[in-house]
A and B are shown apart, each in its own frame.
Chain A
């Protein structure tokens, strides 16, 4: 049953929201999480890849949530030259549905109450102690007082706007994506992720193959929002599959938007913190947002709960979260943002030239060092930085 007062309210039940709920509840304050959909983890609008090492920093993962372990990376050039190498920073492709359930379970074990089919459609101003938020739960209206509201409501977030924070994303700062989990794939390696880079497949973005089993993979692509007039991401996707994976059959299809922006200048207002995609915290280069969202969830959950315990949930107290973000991951990602914008100007011809240096090498002879050397030789420090950023997911 939804109560009238909570110390901390989290809006959105993705990895950012459930981490926030868990870490707030662990401090002993009352926590409710409201999710608009009918199931945590569904739909999976995600390629599901994470770095194993970094994930370990945030959670001891249930092995059931892991679809495959990745230790190889392939870049495919516009001329279909393949650059294969082994990564020293192994990755995981997750089963996001199970993973998100697992994180939600952790939150509820810590004491958070989770409510499905609960849409937050409004929020009042901070009255010095709390905010009133308005929730539609199934078809019933509820008003809840929350000392802290943590907005983890995704790319479509409106909580920030309710709090007077400008959250809208410029079209060139969003990658629109279409992905299918495909079965019956004959030419994939379950330990290797692939990045296909070309303006003809995915202008301003890239196409990916993230394996989930011997013949199953998430195949998708994202294109820069400034190129999406016509054709749409969906038609690029259909062409890419027809050309490269005609044998595959789709088990799921999703569309999605990934903010590949600088993170918001303001992540905090009185009684409100924005985290995850709602705060535009995904890696602007790769589009990966699971770990940064979880990190923001952990930090904001702790600080929000401490604010409650100290009886101060104003901007003044909560801004510590914003400061930690800006000094840490935020700073690194803003660098990736500049890198992405530079990469947007790299032509297909340039990529082909770099890739051609590797054509006659055996896979075991290719190291990340050699790729970097070739990239630097052919131009850009840019490509070097980009590749290093990519293989860290």
Chain B
């Protein structure tokens, strides 16, 4: 799954614009990635501040 580092994210919306699945929603103070995300990584690559990373599912289940 895609993980958001809240300390890095500047809420600029670049990831929302490039998401082909419309999986990302931006609110005033936080970002949310919805379940239909297919982990295409486009948002991870576009983020200007490296706030998004892909975590392998094993770790995210912990």
Contacts and interface: CB of A to CB of B under 8 A. Distances in A.
Contact of B46 (A119, A154, A254, A257): A257
A222 B45 CA distance: 14
A215 to B, nearest CB: 25
A256 B18 contact: no
Report whether over half of chain B's contact residues are helix, strand or loop; otherwise say mixed.
loop
Chain B interface category by residue count? 20 to 34
Nearest to B44: A229
Given A168-B22, A171-B42, A232 B12 contact: no
Contacts of B26: 156
Interface residues of A, number: 33
A37 interface: yes
Contacts, number: 89
A228 B45 CA distance: 6
A254 B18 contact: no
Nearest to B51: A255
Interface stretch (A173-181, A184-192, A352-360): A173-181
Contacts of A36: 27-28
Contacts of A168: 17-20, 22
A235 to B, nearest CB: 8
Given A234-B50, A255-B10, A171 B28 contact: no
Contacts of B48: 176-178, 228, 232-234, 255-257
Interface of A: 36-38, 45, 117, 119, 121, 154-158, 161, 167-171, 174, 176-178, 225, 228-229, 232-234, 254-257, 259
Interface of B: 10, 12-14, 16-20, 22, 25-28, 42, 45-50
